[in-house]
């Protein structure tokens, strides 16, 4: 199943907030492609793995409610707290 390539040439930061947000979404989609991660992750050292996990978990902790974290990140639609 072929997927449509994401338009990397549309990534542009520093113009305005809306463009930055759209560019970040596209950047993260490109970054999270399975083929890229299969090559990149084994090349990271332990500190880089720790830093990446720390950054991403900090962003989620700071900007998501607990329910959003469980539903959107973990896919746990039955989380009750």
* Ranges of each domain in the chain: 8-43, 45-81
Beta-carbon contacts of residue 22 (< 8 Å; ≥ 6 apart): 10
Q: What is the pLDDT of residues 13-55, one digit of tens each?
A: 999 999 999 999 999 999 999 999 999 999 999 999 999 999 9
Burial 24-35 (b: 16+ CB within 10 A, else e): eebeeeeeeeee
What's CA 28's distance to the chain center, in Å? Answer: 5
2 pLDDT more than 60: no
How large is the average pLDDT for residues 6-10? 84
pTM above 0.85, yes or no: no
The whole-number pLDDT of residue 3 equals: 57
pLDDT for the residue 62 = 98
- For 65, the 3-state DSSP assignment is coil
């Amino acid at each position: 199943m072929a997927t449509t390539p994401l338009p990397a040439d549309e990534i542009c930061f520093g113009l305005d907030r809306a463009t930055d947000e759209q560019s970040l979404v596209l950047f993260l989609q490109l970054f999270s492609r399975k083929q890229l991660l299969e090559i990149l992750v084994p090349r990271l050292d332990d500190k880089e793995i720790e830093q990446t996990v720390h950054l991403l978990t900090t962003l989620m902790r700071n900007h998501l409610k607990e329910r959003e974290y469980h539903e959107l990140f973990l896919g746990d639609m039955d989380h009750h707290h």
